[in-house]
């Protein structure tokens, strides 16, 4: 079955840039979306179709997807960005979530 692998954790200093990767076979041929989840809350859609932001999502969140890797970039990271982040794609009509990355703002 198709798998999406993310690093378990990423640390970043406030104001710096954080990058979260998501790896899967030929992932660049598929659309990727990203979700942010804070403790005790449901996930929130951050990006869809690789790099589109829903209304209300700050511009500091951006994405790219090429080859076997999709990347979520958080520019000018803020303390409020500390959360778990998940990538997600579709393998034909099967939904696949990434393993998740905990972003810590030190």
Partner 1 sequence: QLQLQESGPGLVKPSETLSLTCTVSGDSISVNTYHWGWIRQTPGRGLEWIGSVHYTGTTYYKSSLKSRLTMSADTSKNQFSLRLTSLTAADTAVFYCARQSGSYLVSESYFDYWGQGILVTVSS
In the complex, the residues that contact partner 1 under the rule CB under 8 A are 1, 30-31, 33, 35, 41-45, 48-49, 54, 86, 88, 90, 92-100
**Looking at beta carbons only, is 13 or 49 nearer to partner 1?**
49
Closest to 19 (Cα-Cα) out of 84, 86, 99, 73 = 73
DSSP string of 1-68, one letter each residue: ----B--SEEEE-TTS-EEEEEE-TTGGGS--EEEEE-TTS--EEEEBTTTBPPTT--TTEEEEEETT
Cα distance between residue 88 and residue 77, in whole Å: 22
18 versus 32: smaller Cβ distance to partner 1: 32
Q: How far is the CB of 17 from partner 1 (least distance, A)?
A: 24
Residue 15 CB, nearest approach to partner 1 (Å): 29
Nearer Cβ to partner 1, position 45 or 69?
45
Minimum Å gap between C-beta 80 and partner 1 is 19
**Which residue reads 């076997």 in tokens?**
68
In this structure, how many other beta carbons lie within 10 angstroms of the beta carbon of residue 26?
9
Q: Shortest gap between Cβ of 87 and partner 1 (angstroms)? A: 10
Q: Which is nearer to partner 1, 19 or 84 (CB)?
A: 84
């Amino acid at each position: 079955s198709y798998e999406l692998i993310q690093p378990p954790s990423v640390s970043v200093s406030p104001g710096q840039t954080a990058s979260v990767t998501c790896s899967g076979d030929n992932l660049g041929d598929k659309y990727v979306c990203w979700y942010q989840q804070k403790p005790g809350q449901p996930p929130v859609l951050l990006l869809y179709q690789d790099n589109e932001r829903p209304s209300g999502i700050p511009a500091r969140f951006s994405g790219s997807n090429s080859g076997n890797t999709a990347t979520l970039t958080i520019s000018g990271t803020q303390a409020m960005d500390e959360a778990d982040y998940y990538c997600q794609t579709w393998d034909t009509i099967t939904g696949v979530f990434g393993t998740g990355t905990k972003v810590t703002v030190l």
